[in-house]
Amino acid sequence: MKSSVQPFSTRQKMLKSDFEIYRYRDSYLSEVELHHHDFYEVYFFLSGNVQYTIESRQYQLRPGDILLISPLELHQPVIRPEKEPYERVVLWINRECLAALSDEACDLAACFDLGSPHHTNLLRLDAVSARRMQDMADALMEEDARRDFGWQLNSRAILVRLFIELNRRMLETPESPDIPAESDSVVGGVLRYINENFNSEISLDSLSERFFVSKYHLSREFRRLVGTSVYRYIIQKRLIMAKQKMLSGMSPTDVYCSCGFGDYANFYRAFRAEYGISPKEFCADAASRGIREGKS
């Protein structure tokens, strides 16, 4: 049974405590901003003309492609109008849910591990494997929609099968020219530097001097490849790392200085502007839902 299509929402926060899955089809969609989630995302591309940016990596998607996106990765689709609609299935799953489905011998979140030598954002599978993955996603959507006897148990079983397959396919995926390296060596170097030094003072001028490139050229190429300004990326990356530290149990008043914010007031303003809540409210909400980084 083919899953039904839901109206697209720009919401980037989960409403359920375990997983959410949606099928979207749009003939026209305005720009989606560069963003990140506090949960894992599996994205099944079905049709359309889409170039997907994850950090500095750009992927021209083909039907059947699967993207794996971790909470630490900023990402953005660039949708080009086509006669064929933009169609995809999006699975969101909380870290604690995926951890609960795993065991000591089998960590189902391994496919999102950025430090793994096998890690890739893009799985480009053969037609049979891609169809099998999409069938599992459709079955999960059907269970979630119908909610017949045993639907929760069967949903967990489907999720386990799906993530076992995703991890197996990742381990089998050889290095390929279809899996792009960073699109620009300077921008790639700047991104690595920001990720490794987000807690230090960083500016466009200092990056220009460090990488021996005009700040105007760097600014232009960075926005073209990453989808946002250098300053905005630095702030978003610091906020992402601050959230991870708070999920690990660090207090908001201890987090700001370890993430490159000059003082708590700057951190508070940036956090509230980005997420609509204060750092302390974020910690209280995470505690009420039992979310801690160590669980995943």
51, 78 in Cβ contact below 8 A?
yes
Structural domains of the chain, count? 2
pLDDT of residue 81: 77
pLDDT, the chain, mean: 88
**Does residue 161 share a domain with residue 120?**
yes
CATH number of the domain that 146 lies in?
2.60.120.280
**Tens digits of per-residue pLDDT, 80-124?**
877 788 999 999 999 999 999 999 999 999 999 988 888 899 999
Q: What is the DSSP letter of 183?
A: S
pLDDT band for position 162 (50/70/90)? very high
Report if residue 202 sits inside a domain: yes
Q: Which residues of 224-252 are buried (b: 16+ CB within 10 A; e: fewer)?
A: ebbbbebeebbbbbbbbbbbbbbbeebeb
Angle made by CA atoms 24, 25, 27, in degrees to the nearest 5: 145
pLDDT of residue 3: 64
pLDDT band for position 28 (50/70/90)? confident
- Of the three residues 120, 148, 172, the one that is the final residue of a domain is 172
Other C-beta atoms within 10 Å of 191: how many?
A: 22
**Does residue 226 share a domain with residue 89?**
no
pLDDT at 293 over 60: no
**Does residue 35 share a domain with residue 127?**
yes
pLDDT at 33 over 50: yes
Domain that residue 260 falls in: 185-295
pLDDT of residue 100: 96
Write out the H or E segment, with its range, that includes residue 49.
Answer: strand 49-54
pLDDT of residue 291: 52
Mean pLDDT of the region 243-266: 90
Q: Name the more confident of 149 and 285.
A: 149
pLDDT at 32 over 90: no
- Of the three residues 172, 207, 226, the one that is the final residue of a domain is 172
**Does residue 222 share a domain with residue 131?**
no
Report if residue 3 sits inside a domain: no
Other C-beta atoms within 10 Å of 201: how many?
A: 8
Report if residue 4 sits inside a domain: no
**Does residue 159 share a domain with residue 125?**
yes
